[in-house]
Structure formats: structure tokens, C-alpha cells
A and B are shown apart, each in its own frame.
Chain A
Amino acid sequence: RKEVEQDPGPFNVPEGATVAFNCTYSNSASQSFFWYRQDCRKEPKLLMSVYSSGNEDGRFTAQLNRASQYISLLIRDSKLSDSATYLCVVNNNNDMRFGAGTRLTVKP
């Protein structure tokens, strides 16, 4: 079993839709969590950290459920520019593990 698992997608949604991704992790001792965004053939870029209380940044909301060991990313009012692969990252005592990513395509 992979330490960090994501549905690879692709998720194809129309502009304006709300889309949610989940990511599960196997190590219950994991301490910090992040979502990164990666455009095709480009480098990953930090989208947002995920805090225990949940956090929001504009149209993006990240949540953490430690009991069930998953994190989620919600994107509201999808834009064409949101098309990318979203990477879930879990850190346990400086042992960082990346998910393989979920691909999102937002269509006009």
C-alpha cells in the first residue's frame, strides 16, 4: 500500500463547477500536510498548507481529518486556469511523502 494515495483522475469539470479531491495517508504519526499544484511538464508549486482546523484561501479550501487519515481540497467556481495536477504531500518527522497526484481539467 502506498503511504500517500490519491485518485489519479482525470477529473473533467465545466467552468464554474465545484470539485473536491481526497488524499489518504497511512502513517498516523504524520505531522504536516500540504497541497501542491503541478502544471504539465512544469515544477510543483505550493498551493496551500493544511491545518487541523481547516483553512481557506480564496476559492480553495483544505481540510484535515486525522481520525480517518485523509486530507481534502475543495475548489469552488473552477476556472480554466485551475487545470493542473494536484499533489498531496504528507510529512512525518522530516520524512516527506508525495502522492502521485490528481489531474484536473476544467473545460469551457
Chain B
Amino acid sequence: NAGVTQTPKFQVLKTGQSMTLQCAQDMNHNSMYWYRQDPGMGLRLIYYSASEGTTDKGEVPNGYNVSRLNKREFSLRLESAAPSQTSVYFCASSEAKGLSLETQYFGPGTRLLVL
């Protein structure tokens, strides 16, 4: 039981490049989330998916797209990366349907640097 896995662990992009961050969970959880964490800012929710086939915007969705490919996988795409998107990205999942902090399990994070 690996929990929540994320790939890649590290990535360096040039401004304007695109990439997809992958996230998978093997806990049969309904909800999945993408956050970014910046120094002095705390985690901020980018998008979440309350169930397979649904996605909703969080606090900071601009510049990102998501896909809930199936119940296990939730990907985050940057179509045209900008230096402001340099951050640590965390994926999380929860058994609850919808936003519920109490049961969220986080992946190990992806460190992204945009030059």
C-alpha cells in the first residue's frame, strides 16, 4: 500500500514550457486535491476532485488544468509555465466526498522550478 504517489519529484522548466504532474492513490479514496506551497504562504488549494469525473476550482486555479483520469489518478497540467509557478506541489486524497481535511493524506510533493 503506497498511499499517495507523485511524479516527478523534481522538475526544472523554462518559461512557456508545459508539463503534467502525476498523482495516484491506492486507497480507493473518492476525493483528490492539488495544492501548492510557497514560503511564508501556507498551502493553497489549486483544484480538487470530489469524485471520479468531477473537478472544481480551489483558491488559486489560474494557469492550471486538471484531469481526474479515473478514481486512482488526478493530474495537474501547466500549459505555459511561468516563474510565479515555482513552488512545491502536493497532491492529497481523502475518503470523504468533497472537501474534508480530517482524512486527507498527502503525497511526497513535486518541487518545480520555472526559469
Contact of A100 with B42 in the complex, beta carbons under 8 Å: yes
Alpha-carbon gap, A69 to B59, bound state (A): 22
- Answer yes or no: A42 CB below 8 A from chain B CBs: yes
Contact of B40 with A94 in the complex, beta carbons under 8 Å: no
Alpha-carbon gap, A34 to B59, bound state (A): 19
Once A and B bind, how many residue pairs between them come within 8 Å at the CB atom?
Answer: 45
Q: What's the least CB distance linking B32 to chain A, in Å?
A: 14
Mark out the residues of chain B between 63 and 115 whose CB falls within 8 Å of any chain A CB in the assembled complex.
90, 98-99, 101-104, 106-109
- A96-B99 contact in complex given A44-B43, A101-B42, C-beta closer than 8 Å: yes
- Answer yes or no: B13 CB below 8 A from chain A CBs: no
Number of interface residues of B (CB under 8 A): 18
Contact of B43 with A87 in the complex, beta carbons under 8 Å: yes
Residue of B nearest to A5 (CB): B42
Residue of B nearest to A42 (CB): B108
- Answer yes or no: B2 CB below 8 A from chain A CBs: no
Q: Chain A residues near B101 (CB, 8 Å)?
A: 32, 34, 46, 89, 91, 96
Alpha-carbon gap, A101 to B38, bound state (A): 11
Contact of B45 with A96 in the complex, beta carbons under 8 Å: yes
The 3 closest A-B pairs by CB, nearest first: A98-B42, A43-B106, A94-B99
Q: A4-B42, A41-B109, A96-B101 are in contact. List 6 more A-B contacts (CB 8 A).
A: A34-B102, A43-B107, A89-B101, A94-B98, A94-B99, A100-B40
